[in-house]
Amino acid sequence: MPDRQGFDLDNEDVMGPIVEFAVSHKLPLLTHSSEPVGHQYPGKGDVTPDKLYRFVTKFPQLPVVLAHWGGGLPFYALMPEVKQALANAFVDTAASVFLYRPQVFSYVAELIGADKILFATDYPLISQSRLIQQVKSLNLPPQTQALIMGENARKLLGLPESTPAGG
């Protein structure tokens, strides 16, 4: 959470070595994100889509997870240059029920791809069961739901596919 921890994603002297380490060890970087408009709430910060866009364009080789739906950055993917800049970026669904209407899942899947959405809750603020119920209630295609509920995270983290019991 850069704004609460006292560093700036735009500071290349700080972020350069962190990014270099993450890339060399095949690790994604997770950053807090906030939308620049809408209601105020505890934890809303100033890591907004403009800062996130600068960061992902400065470090395109880094897999980056933009928490809280990237503060709305995926909606800018209607611009071709933003969609291209988000090629190695993912968004998570943390605090989704407090931030956006449920349609955010299908809209973001259409804009940047269902393969870019990672299940997250912001526990203990929101229980896993509450967000799981929301995802199940959306009638997303089964493949989209499977991607969001774990397959995307498995791939991003380079984890092996699970094998069926006895198989």
**Peptide bond preceding 124 in cis form (omega within 30 of 0):** yes
* pLDDT at residue number 41: 83
The CATH classification of domain 2-156, taken from the options 1.10.10.60, 3.30.420.10, 3.40.50.800, 3.20.20.140: 3.20.20.140
As a whole number, the mean pLDDT across the chain is 94
Segment 54-66 mean pLDDT:
98
State whether residue 119 is helix, strand or coil.
coil
Nearest CA to 94 out of 115, 73, 123 is that of 123
Residue 150, sorted as left (phi over 0), alpha (psi -120 to 50) or beta, turns out to be: left
71: number of Cβ within 10 Å: 27
Beta strands 89-92; 64-66: pairing state: parallel
Count of CB atoms situated within 10 Å of the CB of 29: 18
Amino acid 119: pLDDT: 98
Q: Where do the structural domains in the chain lie, given as residue ranges? A: 2-156
Q: Is the pLDDT of residue 166 over 90?
A: no
Q: Is the pLDDT of residue 103 over 70?
A: yes
Q: How far apart are CA 77 and CA 56, in angstroms?
A: 13
Sorted by sequence, the CB contacts under 8 Å of residue 11 that are 6+ apart come out as none
pLDDT at residue 7 in the model: 87
Using the structure block, give the residue that is written with the tokens 């912001």: 122
Structural contact between residues 105 and 135, judged by C-beta atoms closer than 8 angstroms: yes
